[in-house]
Structure 1
């Protein structure tokens, strides 16, 4: 085993133990997908707090740890924190045969992990708004036959029916078409950023009775273009109210009521739990 393979194997073990995933495939996938294939040539710029440092060399062993690697320094776009994504992947639980829509795919690293997790029979549709990143993702993912990269705006573009929506850009609320794209039992995981002071990762599951909503950890991503600004009549939650949210509703199906923790146009959040089977 080479030094890089050894580093990748240890990295995969570290990520998945921290995520407490019940799926043994997650470790195998982290160990098999080369992160360096999605970062461009090294040395690489690592984001550390408000500072940036360059890896000592182009040895990929440097990026097999829980570090943010810059993709576009000027735009503040990075490859994402692997440990956070390991926790998200464990939470959303991709299964073989499922259809995934990845919104904010960057250069494709986490799209590749998703693609491996839904094999055999599953597919990933990866949206990326930035033209350069989308082109890089298309090249990086060419070997993954079950991924389609779309350079486009997922806020306004039609989404395919999906078992999973995996969103990597902060939104004040998921657009109504995202919720409607979920199949029965489908899961939406996204960074909820209803204000500049509130950032929470949320898992939404479509059940017969509606959309179950579970905030589960703090989370900060760059804003999602077209879905990151609240309107003038929005009801914006405090962090405590956001954390009490247990369901999401489409205003066309149910008007906001006294249980509303947040209201953003045609989507609102409620402290009311939904009971019932998928």
Structure 2
């Protein structure tokens, strides 16, 4: 008796795993059970194609991040749930990938809908076109196009989705979204990325939901900069409007860090990225700290996550998130605090602990987020903390 699972078995097992953790709209679940992901990943073992993992389809010879990949299926499902596309919707997808997401969208919007997927890379669009043809989705429009410019000739769109990371939303792209339409995209600010649901309300894009995610960045945006310290073993990633001076930080990193602790505890599997998100609604000093294991071995106090931790930076001082084991509460055995360096480090640490404490009191809270064109006067913005980008003004606030 042959007990080897069929491709259909593998696909349904994957979807079962996804919906067990996150209920999905029926249209999205049905599409996931219908579209054959293995067709979009030719040559790959079906068991791998139906694992909940990203698959690189084009390497980047100039850096560690792939130029294009097939996203983690659970993330695909999450974003399609956020998009909430309906039968008859006209959808623009930025980042064609393997064509798998476009096939899912085609199933969701049905025969009365329309899907246009674009990508700047000719190899990627060729791959997507070939896979969509083989899978029976010849009607999906695939275009080699700069994702930052969109495809205005087929707009306006009632739904738009980005499957690459955005640092900013160009005016030319947001203009292609119909009023009342929904745009879901991985948006990056202050070193962290969220899949944000934006609805167009006149000139504004107003968020109704955001989820933690990570994506290959879109080609053509360079609003995030990197400062290398300690012979490249420590990096600080910051937005272009933030003043981070590497020369001022050299002395700080030669010191031993002092520590300031909160009373907030976390469990082993508990996410604490909400601290970072909360802090972006109050602090212009919040950046991303990337430390290597070599830095820790050379004496740097270990950040809570070595390669990706929030850090407040001001002049020659910094304070970043740390944790330590404390078994006073077995269900939440880790205590959160801040390591700090430099003359103003203690003040920065105190501010970071204030944000940790506020998060600890309401761990599910997320800020309101609205995006306005770059020229919008201050008087026309809602109350909140403003982050300046090249094409937009992002306003964050807590009700």
Length-normalised TM-score, structure 2: 0.58
* Residue matched to 1:10: 13
* Residue matched to 1:49: none
Please say if 1:223 is aligned against 2:217: yes
Q: 1:200·1:215 contact (CA, 8 Å) conserved in 2? A: no
Does the C-alpha gap of structure 1 residues 2 and 66 become closer, same or farther in structure 2, counting only changes over 3 Å?
Answer: closer
Please say if 1:241 is aligned against 2:280: yes
SS in 2 for 1:170: coil
* Residue matched to 1:173: 168
* Residue matched to 1:87: 78
* Residue matched to 1:35: 37
Candidates 119, 123, 127, aligned match of 1:128? 119
Report the alpha carbon displacement of residue 253 of structure 1 after superposing the two structures with TM: 4.4
Q: 2:145·2:151 contact (CA, 8 Å) conserved in 1? A: no
Separation (CA, whole Å) in 2 of partners of 1:170 and 1:70: 15
Q: 2:115·2:141 contact (CA, 8 Å) conserved in 1? A: yes
CA RMSD of aligned residues (A): 2.7
Q: 1:33·1:113 contact (CA, 8 Å) conserved in 2? A: yes
SS in 1 for 2:118: strand
Does the C-alpha gap of structure 1 residues 110 and 241 become closer, same or farther in structure 2, counting only changes over 3 Å?
Answer: same
Separation (CA, whole Å) in 1 of partners of 2:10 and 2:151: 40
Summarize deviations over 1:28-50 as a string: whole Å, max 9, x none: 211111111111212xxxxxxxx
SS in 1 for 2:207: strand
* Residue matched to 2:359: none
Please say if 1:269 is aligned against 2:276: no
Summarize deviations over 1:134-153 as a string: whole Å, max 9, x none: 10111111221431000110
Which structure 1 residue ranges, 5 or more long, are not aligned?
A: 43-57
Separation (CA, whole Å) in 1 of partners of 2:398 and 2:370: 6
Does the C-alpha gap of structure 1 residues 97 and 172 become closer, same or farther in structure 2, counting only changes over 3 Å?
Answer: same
Which structure 2 residue ranges, 5 or more long, are not aligned?
A: 226-238, 244-275, 282-365
Single out whichever of 213-222 and 110-119 deviates more from structure 2: 213-222
* Residue matched to 2:304: none
SS in 1 for 2:184: strand
Length-normalised TM-score, structure 1: 0.82
Q: 1:155·1:175 contact (CA, 8 Å) conserved in 2? A: yes
Single out whichever of 61-70 and 102-111 deviates more from structure 2: 61-70
Number of residues of Structure 1 aligned to a counterpart in Structure 2: 255
* Residue matched to 1:154: 147
SS in 2 for 1:25: helix
Does the C-alpha gap of structure 1 residues 207 and 156 become closer, same or farther in structure 2, counting only changes over 3 Å?
Answer: closer
Q: 1:8·1:61 contact (CA, 8 Å) conserved in 2? A: no
